Structure 1
Amino acid sequence: MSGLTIGTPIIKAGARDFKRGFVSPLLFDYLNISLPCETTTCQMEHATADGCGFTAKDGNALEMEISIPTIDPNMTLVVVDPFDFIVQTENQTCRASYTGPTTAVLSPSGCPVALNVKITGAYELVYAATQECLPDKEEDRSHFRINSCKTRRPGDEKELIQVKSHHGFLYIYCWKSQITIENQLQPCPEEVFILPVGTRFQINEKDFVGSVVNIIHQESPDPAFTIKTNHHLNPRLNMSELMRDPMLTHIFNPHAEGHRFGTDDHGHLMIGLLVGLLIIIGILVVVIILCYYCNRKVKVEVIKTPKPRAPPGPDQLPAWVFSPDSVEPDQNIIPN
């Protein structure tokens, strides 16, 4: 009886969780239900409740349907931290940026089994559709594109010097610059190279030194696994292919086909503004000339209408006009 009293709150709480789609580990422990997989590969916090009810035959057996993903601890999730590369022509300096997959799930051999997987902020769970290595497509290995360009100036390569630390190594990109290691001056290689953390070196006479930072609960990866991963995922930086990028071949490259107007993008802008200004000035001149000739053809004729004058009074008659009132009758004429 005491066991039922203790289990009643567990059953009620488990039923409430089940209705919301959650599976209570306490309910499974109380009912003595074990999963057909290990706790490391089947974690209850990722389980979802699908249904619950008694069997239709006798009504005494309880059936619960749950879904739980199987976790493979041998799989590894990696997130890219790409470098930008410099591409230069005679008059332009361009930046080539990475455009390939941003995440990948790797097998123990280092080959990718899934690309661009969705992850959460804490990386709790990642779904991979298969455990087989994806086919290696040579045509998909070029993941760099020209991102931006500007007029070439001395020292442009200094803006793209990049030094990144990763698990005891420094990954360095400083092409077209000079690096000094152990008092040995040499040009930087074209690709990213690796030095151990703590190595002192100079790039263009500026000192660099790395330091080891220990993070609690951070497991250090196997260096051999990192090498295998880079072998599978590292895209090849084909400079000749980047030089054929449309952004270079049609705008910036002075030797490209169909290029006739110079290589300076600012020059193109100035030419466009000047041409537009000349067109506007030409239109204004034509409008002014048309208005001038139209005004010359219009003749304005002004006709003045005389103002009507009042008839003259008796005092204003001329001398040769006789007024009937002023004429005296002839004395010698005898009327009949």
Structure 2
Amino acid sequence: MILQSWRLFGVSVIIIIYICSVLLFSINSSPRSNQKNERIERFSEFANFHNSRFRGFTSKANIRWCNGLKYLKTNVPNNMITTVSALSTNKVATTENIKDDAVYRIPGLTALASFPGSGNTWLRYLLQQATGILTGSVYKDYGLLKTGFPAENVRNNSVLLVKTHEFGPKAWDPFTKAILLVRDPEKAILAEFNRQSGGHIGFASPDRYKRTKGKYWQKFVLKNLKMWEATNLSWARDFSGSIKVVFYEDLVGNLEVTLRGILNFLEFPINEELFSCTLIRREGVFRRKKRFLNFDPFTISMRSMIKQKKLEVYKYLENLK
């Protein structure tokens, strides 16, 4: 009788161990672990911020400004202007001396509007070099905040102009004038894909184009081609203030003439010494270097759609130049 009890106890222990083993195995194989992998994949595009290749950009950039940067003199109260600490490499004026050291500016606010990837940051850099005046933004990009654009998120007339990728009545409302920066949609979409995956001056890895057998990239192109068209045409057609269309290709190919035209539109006096310095230091650190892929990410149908949209939009915009 006692022997049978021990046998029953032994069998029970074996069954319990078996059940625990099955449960443990099922937990390790459950969808929860897959969710963790998906989370890592989803945020892998931000890994570059911890990558040594990008440390030079996310730390204080050693930019040689042609002149110390400062705010415009304005009737905006000082407490509405973001205070900026003076940087040894960037020479930025603080709001404490804005009344004594700032440049007079007539009331009004100018937008620097563009679809992402169109060269907005590079043009801001050029304008800060040519004028010595800070440019603002409707966004607060911490990477740019630390690398030459301390007036990020300043959106009043204490800055030369304000960067935006938005469009529509609410986006237009604060502005009396606008510079619309337009870039070839194929290059703009590619630049934005690289920015989302590799930061402002980084690149998307070749594997990103092939994600989900290329469907991810295909959807990205289709979605952003529509946004490129909507951004440019809405500003061009519906913005009620004065607008100047600037093609990125003109900025690259004929910088001197194009930049003079922009400064004239802003009604900002050109300092020839600063202007010459800007032409010498035109590159800066905000233009992505060229990289050649060993495959063409754009299919024939993609290129056909992009070409058609470009012809339609450029035809309309050319009449506004």
TM-score band, normalised by shorter chain: under 0.3
Q: Which has the higher strand share?
A: 1
TM-score, normalised relative to structure 1: 0.22
Considering Cα pairs closer than 8 Å and 6+ residues apart, tell me whether 1 or 2 has the greater RCO: 2
Q: Which has the higher helix share?
A: 2
TM-score, normalised relative to structure 2: 0.23
